[in-house]
Amino acid sequence: MSPAKRALLNGKALAVVVAATLLVCTNAAFAGSPAPAYDWSGWYIGANVGGAFGPSHVDIAPESPGAEIRDGFVSPRLNDNPFGALGGFEAGVDRQAGQIVYGVVTDFSFADVRSHVVGPFLEIPFDFQTTDGQRLDNLGTLRGRLGFTPWDRSLIYLTGGLAYNRASVSTFAIDTSADICGGTIKFCIGGNSQRWMTGFTLGAGWQYALGPNWSVQVEYLYYDLGKVTNSMVDILTPPDVFQGSAAVQGDIARIGLIYRFQ
């Protein structure tokens, strides 16, 4: 699925949630429903655990004249599906006005989300092959929240804001028919990089109050941090240079336990 189609589907899903939110709020207003007994106002802290997943891709393009000549030795795009676990902590504050709840929340998760892809053989009989690997070490967010309470002790909300993480990418291409970095063609390029990135996140969630202070939470987030790049250089003089570029994006589904200071 292309990034454009993926963004469109996520936008449609969020639109459905927004429409449902407005519908319930409108019905509650016309019905003259009393304010819920449970008060969501106040500061809170919590812990969460879940998984990250979703399609991504790595693009490889020539960056030097020699690399343009050897462009056919490298797979221009490799599609992969990073996945893994993450868990961490969050803190926030909410205010309640009738059945509307609004606030801000920040969280930080340690993650082990990775992928490894081996591309097809190219330019037979030399058998050039490209591989790539991605890894997400952690993920943090700073988000706004807007929700409503359709029933007492139940909160449904939309959320969105800043996302940041540390991501890495490694790419490698070689003529597998020869010794490593040897043979007649002498084609052996590789590179890796790691850096902190910022982007955005959008999502929705549901909380249910177990008592005056404790609640459970289910949350979905989509994140997009842009691209992390590296330089792939061979052993020639002057060297041929390619650039690897990995899209850092995906989905998060997680559950949490929240303590609210009432």
Question: What CATH number does residue 84 fall under?
Answer: 2.40.160.20
Burial 11-43 (b: 16+ CB within 10 A, else e): eeebeebeeebeebbeebeeeeeeebebebeee
The predicted model gives 181-197 an average pLDDT of 76
Give the count of domains, the chain.
1
Residue 178 confidence (pLDDT): 63
In single-letter form, the type of residue at position 81 comes to N
How far from 242 is each of 20, 156, 184, 255, CA to CA, in Å? 48, 47, 20, 41
Cα distance between residue 40 and residue 23, in whole Å:
21
pLDDT tens digit sequence for 73-108: 888 888 888 999 999 999 999 999 999 999 999 999
Rounded to two decimals, the pTM is: 0.78
Burial grade of 170 (CB within 10 A; 0-12, 13-18, 19 or more): buried
Phi, psi dihedral angles at 24 (to 5 degrees) = -65, -45
pLDDT at 26 over 50: no
More confident of the two residues 1 and 247: 247
Output the 3-class SS for 3-63. Answer: HHHHHHHHHHHHHHHHHHHHHHHHHHHHHCCCCCCCCCCEEEEEEEEEEEECCEEEEEEEC
Token pair of 130, please? 């490209």
Report the percent of the chain where pLDDT is more than 90: 44
- Range of the structural domain that residue 172 is part of: 3-260
